[in-house]
Amino acid sequence: MVEAIRKSTREEREKWLKEAFYNLFNLRSEYVYIDLLTDSGTGAMSDKQWSAMMLGDESYAGASSYLIMKDAIKKLFGFNDFLPTHQGRAAENVLFSVLVKEGDLVPGNSHFDTTKGHIEFRKAKAVDCTIDEAFHPTLYHPFKGNIDLNKLEDVLKNNPKEKIPFVIVTLTCNTSGGQPVSMQNLREVYSLAKGFGIKVFFDSARFAENAYFIKIREDGYQDKTIKEIVKEMYSYADGMTMSSKKDAIVNMGGFIGFSDRKLYEEASVYNIMFEGFVTYGGMSGRDMNALVQGLDEGTEFEYLETRIKQVAYLGERLKKFGIPLLEPFGGHAIFLDAKRFLPEILKEEYIAQTLAVEIYLEGGVRGVEIGTLLADRDPVTRKNRYPELELVRLAIPRRVYTNSHIDYVAAAIENVFERRSQITKGLRILREAPIMRHFTVELDRV
Ligand code: F0G
């Protein structure tokens, strides 16, 4: 699908920013020239996906689209049962309704915000067991999404088993910068958790990009296909939650995969309540067809290589200019290190949000804050949580932009970098929601 985009003037953007209360989520998309807010649901579907949509079976129960999707999930991931949901957080909502209770602990590698939100909403706690290397923006480690086995073992050892419903591993780890988890780590996490009788789930939004990095960076996988690697990855999981809006390259959709039939049956009750009957969940038949085709295309090496190299192309350009960013480059996005980019801004003035606002102002390029706004307040003390890293994520939609667009983005950011010493004041909050505030927060300049 090809869409027109429109350039704007600096004066227009200044006005629109003010009207949007300095929250880029509040901007109309037509006010954005290059939209790197997210790679979620923003990909361009292929000819084969569009044509698969024509064959969607919209029957309420037992649709052929459901059965095709069941076969595809079994073939790719090895799970016998699945529930369709309208997107990833809906999969979390259904699964966690069965598994997460007040007072529970859910260890994992830097949980995504909706995952953490669904855990905390149930008065449970997400425990971050990511390796320490992940928090050093310039340190090279091929698998910065890895779980620190000692940290995980501490949690599993020092708490009653009933308090730990499962371990969740996010592939690739979005929150720590689109960083992959190695096959070895997946194997070890699974074996450690099994030893304690605890289940492992994969938050799978970018599972194919994770498999690409295993192929490229981990010994013994160079000659395997992405699909073979995926199959092995999921042999170390009891189930998965999936936002299909990323690596399945559809605009909307998700699912939960299960190896445990009893858990599938329990979750079905919540799926019917929140999403829809078990054979469509939150999805139309035509959407399930597009998803199945997208899963196949999204796990082809040539596609993944083109995509991930385009992300790296932006990273290399910015790096050459001396712009501080997170390395190695993520699979789906480049993450600017806002603390080093804008050293004068106080952490109380939302450093990464300030940088995201400046980049929009400069070139109509929309990125997203991964910093204090996203980290939210501590649910108990209600104090701001200041994360170690203040990042601006520039997420690249799949099959949408050319490298000329990427050059434009780089030039805009380079301009901001050149005038960075004049940016000395950040933002303050006018209004915020009690949970997941970053989506709707209203701000003003300090
Ligand atoms: N897990 C991960 C790792 C994600 O990145 C997302 C969404 C979800 C779960 C939730 O899925 O949006 O389909 O409900 N990430 C998007 C992003 C929103 O911009 O990174 P969803």
Examine the pLDDT at 1 and tell me if it is beyond 80. no
Who contacts 277 (Cβ-Cβ below 8 Å, separation ≥6)? 60, 61
Q: Which atom of ligand 1 is nearest to the CA of 203?
A: 1
Place of tokens 């490298």: 403
CA distance 293 to 108: 30
Looking only at the bridges linking them, the beta strands covering 442-445 and 427-431 are antiparallel
Q: Which of 196, 210, 125, 134 is nearest to 380 (CA)?
A: 125
Who contacts 302 (Cβ-Cβ below 8 Å, separation ≥6)? none
Task: Provide the sign of the torsion angle of the four alpha carbons 187, 108, 159, 135, taken in this order.
Answer: positive
Say how many Å lie between the CA of residue 88 and the centre of ligand 1. Answer: 6
CA distance 249 to 408: 24
Say how many Å lie between the CA of residue 87 and the centre of ligand 1. Answer: 8
> Tens digits of per-residue pLDDT, 351-410?
999 999 999 999 999 999 999 999 899 888 999 999 988 999 999 999 999 999 999 999
> Tens digits of per-residue pLDDT, 172-228?
999 889 999 999 999 999 999 999 999 999 999 999 999 999 999 999 999 999 999
Q: Which of 302, 301, 291 is nearest to 71 (CA)?
A: 291
Q: Which atom of ligand 1 is nearest to the CA of 173?
A: 3
Share of the chain above pLDDT 70, in %: 100
> Tens digits of per-residue pLDDT, 250-269?
999 999 999 999 999 999 99
Task: Provide the sign of the torsion angle of the four alpha carbons 88, 89, 94, 95, taken in this order.
Answer: positive
Report, as residue numbers or ranges, the catalytic residues. Answer: 60, 112-113, 203, 205, 246, 438
The answer to whether the CB of 276 is under 6 A from ligand 1 is no
Cβ atoms within 10 A of the Cβ of 220, count?
9
Q: Which two three-digit tokens encode residue 262?
A: 């009893």
The answer to whether the CB of 88 is under 6 A from ligand 1 is yes
3-state secondary structure of 63: coil
Say how many Å lie between the CA of residue 268 and the centre of ligand 1. Answer: 22
Name the more confident of 135 and 202: 202
Place of tokens 């997203």: 368
The answer to whether the CB of 170 is under 6 A from ligand 1 is yes
Domain ranges of the chain: 10-32+301-445, 47-298
The answer to whether the CB of 85 is under 6 A from ligand 1 is no
Give the mean pLDDT of 37-60: 97
Protein residue with its CA nearest to atom 9 in ligand 1: 88
Which contiguous run of DSSP H or E holds residue 396? none
3-state secondary structure of 181: coil
Determine the pLDDT at residue 250.
97
The answer to whether the CB of 38 is under 6 A from ligand 1 is yes
Determine the pLDDT at residue 175.
87
> Tens digits of per-residue pLDDT, 3-25?
899 999 999 999 999 999 999 99
CA distance 111 to 387: 13
Q: Which two three-digit tokens encode residue 374?
A: 């996203």
Q: Which two three-digit tokens encode residue 390?
A: 């203040």
Say how many Å lie between the CA of residue 243 and the centre of ligand 1. Answer: 6
The answer to whether the CB of 89 is under 6 A from ligand 1 is yes
Determine the pLDDT at residue 208.
98
Q: Confidence band (pLDDT; 50, 70, 90) for 67?
A: very high
Q: Which atom of ligand 1 is nearest to the CA of 245?
A: 13
Mean pLDDT, rounded, of the chain: 97
Say how many Å lie between the CA of residue 171 and the centre of ligand 1. Answer: 11
Say how many Å lie between the CA of residue 125 and the centre of ligand 1. Answer: 19
Q: Using most ligand atoms within 8 A of CB, pick from 35, 36, 118, 243 the residue to mutate for ligand 1.
A: 243
Protein residue with its CA nearest to atom 11 in ligand 1: 88
> Tens digits of per-residue pLDDT, 270-318?
999 999 999 999 999 999 999 999 999 999 999 999 999 999 999 999 9
Peptide bond into 137 cis (omega under 30): no
Q: Are 110 and 146 in contact (CB under 8 A)?
A: no
Q: How much of the chain is in helix, strand and coil states, percent to nearest 5? A: 45, 15, 40
Topology adopted by domain 10-32+301-445: Aspartate Aminotransferase, domain 1 (3.90.1150)
Determine the pLDDT at residue 176.
86
* CATH of span 47-298: 3.40.640.10
The answer to whether the CB of 210 is under 6 A from ligand 1 is no
